[in-house]
């Protein structure tokens, strides 16, 4: 029996998450689920959008003067 689109989507999401976790581990970074991370909109708005796009990042928080 062929897998449904929902099942295929779920498998793709699981594979994507596993790859993201593997990369985080490889580069000794914390894996963060962005859906569960609160967004500091003031921090995001304080930076130029083109800089975030060019460097492919979104700041999550500011702590001790560091992002």
pLDDT value of residue 67:
84
Q: How far apart are the first and last CA of the chain?
A: 49
The CA angle 30-36-40, to the nearest 5 degrees, is: 85
Quick one: pLDDT band at residue 66, thresholds 50, 70, 90? confident
Question: Quick check: helix, strand or coil at residue 47?
Answer: coil
Residue with tokens 């928080």: 61
* Residue 60 to residue 67: CA distance in whole angstroms: 7
What's the predicted TM-score (pTM) here? 0.60
């Amino acid at each position: 029996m062929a897998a449904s689109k929902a099942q295929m989507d779920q498998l793709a999401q699981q594979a994507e998450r596993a790859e993201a976790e593997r990369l985080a581990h490889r580069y000794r970074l914390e894996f963060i689920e962005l859906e569960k991370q609160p967004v500091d909109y003031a921090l995001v708005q304080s930076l130029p959008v083109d800089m975030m796009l060019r460097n492919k990042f979104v700041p999550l928080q500011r702590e001790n003067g560091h992002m």
